[in-house]
Structure 1
């Protein structure tokens, strides 16, 4: 299978990551496109049906893909899973598996109970996807989870109006001081990621 399906998914579904790949060497694009496409498929799984059981089944399917990749054996044929298996090893598969587990939370319309619960969700979604992308490139993991958390928090806050329109309560609190604290945590994580960068 080619990277065309992955490229099309990322171009349509994740314009920010698509733009970040422009001008990158083909070798980098070939390794990151399957990771980003898999992330989109995983993130969409809880939303494909009003019936939570359908979302659960799709997330379970993706967990099985990650188990196959981590085991190093044959991986089921699929327009995203097949190219993903070509670029991801066990470490990256475990990182994406953490994101899949966290995405089960998207099946629940209730708000996060605490700021800690929301932070853990963002660590396991945005943070672990960035760790998986780094693993696909063979990059040292230092700072990747923090960078992914910061980017994930920014994307999540941008998505709050849409999530609310879908009947979700995406934040544990809308109090200005609680939102300011979330922003401070995101900025602190971004600063930590920058400090961890080599050179």
Structure 2
């Protein structure tokens, strides 16, 4: 593994341990490509945390967009994640439009605009988490297009929705709301208390509906992935953590704005191992 891919693997190990562990269940050959893909996802996903206002974030996203569209950047050679991603994209014939769409979706992260609807939120998860799963399947399938687009779509939405509910305390603290406007209005949620860290009955009801919707997508994955090839399973393994997270959210007395939802490292490792032994996607 070259130094660029080693750097990508170190980044994923430090900041996306679940996908790192899931990749260990893959064949050795494609692991480096998975690390490059997951490191790229981390790089564009954390831009909001690195900038103080949207414009510098837009510039950083444009850099990645230009890179994927073939615009020369002299500093690319100094960016190991970019180098590893370009090599992976070439080796496994990753569609540049899917990678660019991942970049474009992250523009929403830079602003505090409300998510308009549940359909828009599913689209956001589709262009980020679902796309990442489908691209990982391409890597695991040696560049041949697998018949996993629909399953990856549902899996990514479930994983993305769960992640956004887990991140609610941090998003609310900075005045950002990923929960869709139509869902909030349906339950009469006033966002002012939410941004102050106050959980209302209305917010609790909205989150209950969103958890039910997340489980709907998990069910679709289980129904459609019964004959998923073993070689593709590592792309889906992190989704096995969604149900345990949802159950933690439903514990009596849980405050979604004050109590971060976590699982111990041992619990996560055991869940991923158990999922790897199950048929289908292991969810």
TM-score bracket, normalised by the shorter chain, equals 0.7 to 0.9
Tell me the residue number matched to 1:35.
37
Question: Is contact 2:30–2:139 with CA below 8 Å preserved after alignment?
Answer: no
The 1:197/1:26 distance shift into structure 2, 3 A limit, reads: closer
Q: CA deviation at 1:37?
A: 0.2
2:70 pairs, out of 63, 68, 71, with 68
Tell me the residue number matched to 1:103.
106
Secondary structure of the residue aligned to 1:68 is coil
Tell me the residue number matched to 1:80.
81
Secondary structure of the residue aligned to 1:179 is helix
Q: CA deviation at 1:192?
A: 5.0
Distance (Å, rounded) in 2 between the aligned partners of 1:16 and 1:8? 13
- Aligned residue pairs total 195
- Give the gaps of 5 or more residues in structure 1: none
- Give the gaps of 5 or more residues in structure 2: 185-202, 230-279
Q: Which region of structure 1 is more displaced relative to structure 2, 89-98 or 99-108?
A: 89-98
Superposition pairs of residues 1-199 of structure 1, within 5 angstroms: 2=3, 3-68=5-70, 76-77=76-77, 78-89=79-90, 91-137=94-140, 138=143, 140-142=146-148, 143-172=151-180, 173=184, 174=203, 175-176=206-207, 178-191=209-222, 193-195=224-226, 197-198=228-229
TM-score (norm 1): 0.85
Q: Which region of structure 1 is more displaced relative to structure 2, 36-45 or 181-190?
A: 181-190
Q: CA deviation at 1:49?
A: 0.9
Q: CA deviation at 1:150?
A: 2.3
Question: Is contact 1:134–1:141 with CA below 8 Å preserved after alignment?
Answer: no
Distance (Å, rounded) in 2 between the aligned partners of 1:134 and 1:23? 13
Residues 100-124 of structure 1, C-alpha deviations (whole Å, 9 max, x = no match): 1111011121321211111111111
Runs of 4+ with >3 A deviation: 89-92
Distance (Å, rounded) in 2 between the aligned partners of 1:194 and 1:116? 23
Distance (Å, rounded) in 2 between the aligned partners of 1:179 and 1:38? 28
Distance (Å, rounded) in 2 between the aligned partners of 1:58 and 1:45? 8
Q: CA deviation at 1:145?
A: 2.9
Q: Which region of structure 1 is more displaced relative to structure 2, 12-21 or 60-69?
A: 60-69
